[in-house]
Structure 1
Amino acid sequence: MAEQLIFDLPVRQALGRDAFFVSPSNAVAMATLDAVDNWPSGKLVLIGPKGAGKTHMAHVWASDHAAVIVPAQTLAQADIPALAARRFVVVEDADRLSSLPDPQHAEEALFHLHNLTLAEGGRLLLTAQSAPNHWTLGLPDLASRMQGTTVARIEPPDDKLLAAMLVKQFDDRQIAVPGTLILWLVKRMERSAEAARRMVETLDAAALRSGRPISRNLAAQFFPKDE
């Protein structure tokens, strides 16, 4: 039998509000983002584990407010006054500043972006995996400003959110699976968004290798037991 050809098709990640599923795990955080006029000092840190939906929520917020999104690792090379002039700014992975090759310049850039954006009456949203008091910042002035920032937390996902995450991961790969399979998979997965991503990635790769559609029989080869 000829070997099945595998085409590495791009994953089209949907990041709009219509693709975002609100559940008890993230409802409070989403409501806090939406109440932008109530942010103390005009800034907010959105925290949650890897894959929890921080990027999706940040893109929803950015779309609503015509905000610019900047990865923390590019801050040292960014035009900070131009960013601040946009008035609504998102800095993703702000807790990674200290691990960058040039943390001093990156921290100084965030410090100036923070001050200029708020001086313009703008809003600054930062995403991270942990609260600012756990960041190892070397710039004392930046550390004090970050530690004084309100935190919105994405809680661990419930079953409804896990199911929605699986559906979205399949949709991003243009794969249709029955709802009964989604419920079956939820019972056999770790309770994290990253686990949903890995599970769908595993099943997609297995289906491509075997030339078979994703089914319960195929999935049982990789996820045979309930937790």
Structure 2
Amino acid sequence: MSDRSQSDDVPQQLSLGVSLRDDATFANFFQSLDDGNRQVVGLLQAFASGDNAEQAVYLWGEPGSGVTHLLQAVCQVAESAGRSFQYLPLADLIEAEPEVIVDGLEYLDLVCIDDLDLIEGRPHWQTALFHLYNRLRDSGRQLILGARKSPRGLALDLADLHSRLQWGLTFQLHPLSDADKVAALRQRSRLRGFDLPEDVAQYILHRAPRDTRALFACLEQLDRASLQAQRKITIPFVKQVLNI
């Protein structure tokens, strides 16, 4: 964490036991040539490095669309730029006391909150995030929010928070087509240092869970098994390792 805060009481990034995936980068976020996500990625890269003056961005999309990947990619860039930040996946933190989690975050350059839809039906979390939003705005810091629903689609008890969430920029991530998922698998395999034949990628797509998170998990499992067995990744090898 860059030491740009005024007090030693400022919370340290990732002090909550939260870690970033090494492969959650902008470089390996797949974008097709006609992908509407390209504009979003470009804006987030500028946002992460502090080159965009926007204070708040709300990113949403269905599971596997890449919301979590991009939030973590933002944090990777922020870290490289020497900015202080905190990534908060509410899926891991929602049972904690919200005031404890968000205390002092307004001193950081950037706060990324994932799984925001989990605050539905949790008024304490809604109140804590409402006050955090205001503190971040007043201190000129940046906030990016990730969720499965749009701001208007969230069922919140706190009307003021509902209003705040609609103040910043809002973007929906569009899911990949089947052809794009095959291309994404092959791109990810090349980044991992091996070539995945198209027929093998097609086989995985049509037999494994179809969301990109699950597909990339299968690819990671195959990569480890291939290295251990010193074998190429073929359809028979996929059948053996993944049992599909």
TM-score by length of 1: 0.71
Return the alpha-carbon distance in structure 2 between the equivalents of residues 110 and 215 of structure 1.
48
Return the alpha-carbon distance in structure 2 between the equivalents of residues 223 and 156 of structure 1.
26
Alignment match, 2:116: 94
Alignment match, 2:41: 30
Select the residue among 3, 19, 31 that pairs with 2:28: 19
Matches within 5 A, 1:156-195: 156-158=175-177, 161-167=180-186, 176=194, 178-185=196-203, 188=206, 192-194=211-213
Deviation at 1:81, TM superposition (A): 4.3
Residue type matched to 1:21 in 2? F
Pair 1:80–1:216, CA change in 2 (3 A): closer
- Note if 1:123 corresponds to 2:142: yes
Per mean C-alpha deviation after superposition, the further-off stretch among 160-169 and 107-116 is: 160-169
Pair 1:89–1:75, CA change in 2 (3 A): farther
Return the alpha-carbon distance in structure 2 between the equivalents of residues 63 and 203 of structure 1.
26
Alignment match, 2:4: none
- On the 8 A contact 2:60/2:171 being kept in 1, the answer is yes
Gap regions ≥5 residues in structure 1: 1-11
Instruction: Report the secondary structure of 2:104's partner residue.
Output: helix
Residue type matched to 1:84 in 2? E
Instruction: Report the secondary structure of 1:147's partner residue.
Output: coil
Gap regions ≥5 residues in structure 2: 1-20
Alignment match, 1:135: 154
Instruction: Report the secondary structure of 1:89's partner residue.
Output: strand
Return the alpha-carbon distance in structure 1 between the equivalents of residues 119 and 74 of structure 2.
22
Alignment match, 1:148: 167
- Note if 1:46 corresponds to 2:59: yes
Residue type matched to 2:202 in 1? W
Residue type matched to 1:64 in 2? V
- On the 8 A contact 1:75/1:110 being kept in 2, the answer is no
Return the alpha-carbon distance in structure 2 between the equivalents of residues 115 and 203 of structure 1.
46
Per mean C-alpha deviation after superposition, the further-off stretch among 149-158 and 42-51 is: 149-158
Instruction: Report the secondary structure of 1:33's partner residue.
Output: helix
Q: Which has the higher helix share?
A: 1
- On the 8 A contact 1:25/1:158 being kept in 2, the answer is no
Deviation at 1:146, TM superposition (A): 1.4
Alignment match, 2:14: none
TM-score by length of 2: 0.67
Residue type matched to 1:133 in 2? R
- On the 8 A contact 2:156/2:162 being kept in 1, the answer is yes
Instruction: Report the secondary structure of 1:151's partner residue.
Output: strand
Return the alpha-carbon distance in structure 1 between the equivalents of residues 22 and 46 of structure 2.
26
- On the 8 A contact 1:169/1:196 being kept in 2, the answer is no
- On the 8 A contact 1:95/1:132 being kept in 2, the answer is no
Residue type matched to 2:23 in 1? A
Percent of aligned positions that are identical: 24
- Note if 1:84 corresponds to 2:106: yes
Deviation at 1:76, TM superposition (A): 0.5
Alignment match, 2:86: 68
Instruction: Report the secondary structure of 1:68's partner residue.
Output: strand
Per mean C-alpha deviation after superposition, the further-off stretch among 28-37 and 213-222 is: 213-222
Query: Number of matched residues?
Result: 206
Instruction: Report the secondary structure of 2:165's partner residue.
Output: helix
Return the alpha-carbon distance in structure 1 between the equivalents of residues 77 and 193 of structure 2.
29
